[in-house]
């Protein structure tokens, strides 16, 4: 069964693109335009897979990841950034991100990684059940 | 550190010129000697020294007046001036600094003192140049970062959309080659952006005529 994915990016075109890509691969997708909006959505629903832009007005992706990591420990969170120098891999890992992509990322790469993450979540859930 | 080498010495006394010339050349400096105060500005423009040793009391234009003219000119104001003078009363020294002099040396000239003060000014000059370079680098990096961030958003949308289009077009369909070209070229732009993000040094190369552009291959660590 395909999983629920939350995409957080302040750029509407990016949200729409990733939604289209993931929905066409069978995922159930929700989007948020800011870290604050994402937290409101996460309070109501659980997401095993999450994609965060790093550089957003208001709460940035690093801060959002730190908060979400405590709320959703059994989840996989990816960072997708347009500006790699601003946040480095070290910061991303420290914040709790599982992986890190620099825009423009190929949708094939993204889908492959989401698929791998989805299987990993399945394994984790099998062990806990 | 590349320190100053070509020094102009201005003094109406031929004897003083000869003494300072000897001291400087022995210390490895190249010298440009000027005895006529009225021709200093032209001589500076012709020889482009990195430091000027300027006598104050001269017939015609005084050293203070020459310094004022140098500091007011667009093309010479950056050259540091050290006054060499027998006139060291408070008012003269105060004016010498107010007009842009970096330092002064008393006459009769002491070789050790003269060379030490020249070196100090030269190091100061080099540090100023380095600071300018750092500011330039910082500006380039900020600009590169802004370009990358702003460009990567639309690049992501173009790349993703073209890939989606490719998925929908069967092999041999009209437009498939065009969609592939868009994907390939967008990936190339993404690679250029990644190089821009990794610029660490100010490396440049000739472009058209005398204009220069940043050499991405050398400037980027990627």
Tally Cβ neighbours within 10 Å of residue B139. Answer: 11
Question: CA torsion, points A33, B183, A23, A89, in degrees to nearest 10?
Answer: -50
Q: Is B180 on the interface with A (CB under 8 A)?
A: no
Confidence of residue B214 (pLDDT cuts 50, 70, 90): confident
User: What's residue A18's pLDDT?
Assistant: 95
> Where does residue A73 rank: exposed (0-12), middle (13-18), buried (19+ CB within 10 A)?
exposed
Q: What is the CATH number of the domain that holds A10?
A: 3.40.50.2300
Do B100 and B63 meet the contact criterion of CB atoms below 8 Å apart?
A: no
Would the pLDDT of A36 be above 70? yes
Angstrom distance (rounded) from CA A110 to CA A107:
5
Domain segments of chain B as ranges: 6-109, 133-219
The pLDDT of residue A87 is above 90 = no
- Which pLDDT score, from 0 to 100, does residue A91 have? 84
Show which of residues 70-99 on chain A sit within 8 Å of chain B, judged by CB atoms: 82-86
Q: Does A24 touch chain B (CB under 8 A)?
A: yes
State how far the Cα of B42 lies from the Cα of A57, in Å rounded to an integer: 57
For residue B201, the distance in angstroms to the closest alpha carbon of chain A comes to: 15
Q: Supply the range of the domain harboring residue A91.
A: 4-128
Whether the per-residue pLDDT at B14 is higher than 80: the answer is yes
Interchain CB distance below 8 Å, A82 and B148: yes
CATH topology of domain B133-219: Helix Hairpins (1.10.287)
Each residue's pLDDT tens digit, B118-149: 999 999 988 988 898 888 888 888 887 788 88
| Cα gap A22→A33, rounded to integer Å | 17
Q: Are strands B30-34 and A49-53 parallel, antiparallel or unpaired?
A: unpaired
Evaluate if residue A85 carries a pLDDT over 70: no
Is the bond into B108 cis (omega within 30 degrees of 0)? yes
Q: What pLDDT shows up at residue B195? A: 84
Euclidean distance between CA atoms A99 and A59, whole angstroms:
20
Nearest CA in chain A to B145: A83
Residue A112: pLDDT above 60? yes
Q: What is the pLDDT of residue B2?
A: 55
- DSSP three-state, residue B186: helix
What pLDDT shows up at residue B181? 94
Higher pLDDT, B180 or B4: B180
**The total number of structural domains that make up chain A:** 1
- Put the strands of the sheet holding B30-34 in their side by side order: B30-34, B6-10, B51-55, B81-85, B103-106
Mean pLDDT of all residues in A4-33? 95
pLDDT at site B146: 82
CATH for B6-109 is 3.40.50.2300
Contact B2, B27 (CB under 8 A): no
Q: What is the mean pLDDT of residues B150-154?
A: 88
Question: Mean pLDDT: which of A96-105, B23-32, B128-137 is highest?
Answer: B23-32
**What pLDDT score was predicted for residue A84?**
62
Determine contact, residues A97/A78, Cβ cutoff 8 Å: yes
| Phi, psi dihedral angles at B214 (to 5 degrees) | -65, 130
Identify the CA nearest to B162 among candidates B195, B189, B187.
B187
List the single residue in A11, A83, A107 with the smallest CB-CB distance to B148.
A83
Phi, psi of B206 (to 5 degrees): -65, 140
Q: Are strands B6-10 and B30-34 parallel, antiparallel or unpaired?
A: parallel
Q: Check residue B208 and give its pLDDT.
A: 80
Q: Is this complex's ipTM strictly greater than 0.95?
A: no
Q: What is the mean predicted confidence (pLDDT) over B195-218?
A: 78
The mean per-residue pLDDT over the stretch B32-61 comes to 95
Q: Which candidate from A13, A24, A82 shows the least CB-CB separation from B149?
A: A82
């Amino acid at each position: 069964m395909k999983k629920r994915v939350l995409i957080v990016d302040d750029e509407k075109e990016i949200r729409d693109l990733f939604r289209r890509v993931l929905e066409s691969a069978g995922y159930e997708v929700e989007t948020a335009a800011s870290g604050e909006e994402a937290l409101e959505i996460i309070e109501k629903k659980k997401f095993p897979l999450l994609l965060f832009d790093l550089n957003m007005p208001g709460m940035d992706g690093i801060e959002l990841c730190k908060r979400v990591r405590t709320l959703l420990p059994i989840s996989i969170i990816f960072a997708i950034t347009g500006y790699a120098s601003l946040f480095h891999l070290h910061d991303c890992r420290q914040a709790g991100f599982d992986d890190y992509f620099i825009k423009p990322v190929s949708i094939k790469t993204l889908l492959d990684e989401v698929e791998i993450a989805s299987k990993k979540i399945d394994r984790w859930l099998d062990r806990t059940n | 550190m590349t320190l100053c080498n070509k020094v102009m010495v201005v003094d109406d006394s031929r004897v003083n010129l000869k003494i300072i010339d000897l001291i400087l050349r022995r210390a490895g400096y190249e010298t440009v000697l000027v005895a006529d105060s009225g021709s200093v500005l032209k001589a500076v423009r012709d020889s482009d020294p990195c430091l000027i040793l300027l006598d104050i009391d001269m017939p015609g234009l005084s050293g203070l007046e020459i310094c004022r003219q140098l500091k007011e000119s667009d093309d010479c104001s950056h050259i540091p001036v050290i006054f060499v003078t027998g006139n060291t009363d408070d008012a003269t020294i105060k004016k010498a600094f107010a007009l842009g002099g970096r330092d002064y040396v008393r006459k009769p000239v002491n070789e050790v003192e003269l060379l030490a003060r020249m070196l100090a000014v030269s190091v100061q000059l080099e540090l100023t140049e380095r600071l300018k370079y750092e500011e330039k680098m910082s500006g380039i990096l900020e600009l590169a970062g802004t370009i990358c961030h702003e460009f990567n958003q639309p690049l992501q949308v173009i790349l993703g959309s073209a890939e989606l289009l490719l998925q929908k077009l069967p092999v041999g369909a009209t437009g498939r080659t065009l969609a592939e070209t868009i994907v390939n070229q967008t990936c190339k732009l993404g690679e250029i952006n990644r190089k821009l993000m990794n610029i660490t040094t100010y490396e440049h190369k000739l472009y058209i005529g005398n204009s220069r552009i940043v050499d991405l291959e050398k400037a980027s660590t990627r």
